[in-house]
Amino acid sequence: MALGALAGFALLVLLGWVPVLGPIAAGVVAGAIARGALRGLLAGLLAGTLGALLLGAVLALVGGLLAGLLGALLGWLVGLGLGLVALVGVALLTALGGLIGGALRG
């Protein structure tokens, strides 16, 4: 299962910019490597959570850098807020893909 989550995370880093199909494809790969619907779901959820945390950290960093000197705190808060929203969406889509991939590989 750990190998599936790692492969799903790596694919999510590469395909995370594709709005819906990127996380689902990463989840399908994670689930197929994990073999089994429940293990695929967990591998996809883990890969999606790690990928979304990385995305949230990048958004917080970019938000803090672009906000300027006085708005740096606001930039960090906005970046972290968008990262938390992305965490829920990306993790759920990747978990759904992991469930599908694990059920297909079964």
pLDDT in tens, 4-49: 999 999 998 888 778 889 999 999 999 999 988 999 999 999 998 8
Q: Torsion over CA of 8, 9, 14 and 16, rounded to 10 degrees?
A: 90
pTM of the full structure? 0.81
Domain ranges of the chain: 2-105
Residue bearing the bigger pLDDT, 52 or 50:
50
- Please name the residue ranges forming H helices in 1-106: 2-15, 21-34, 37-66, 72-105
Average pLDDT over residues 80-102: 85
What Rg, from alpha-carbon coordinates, does the chain have?
A: 15
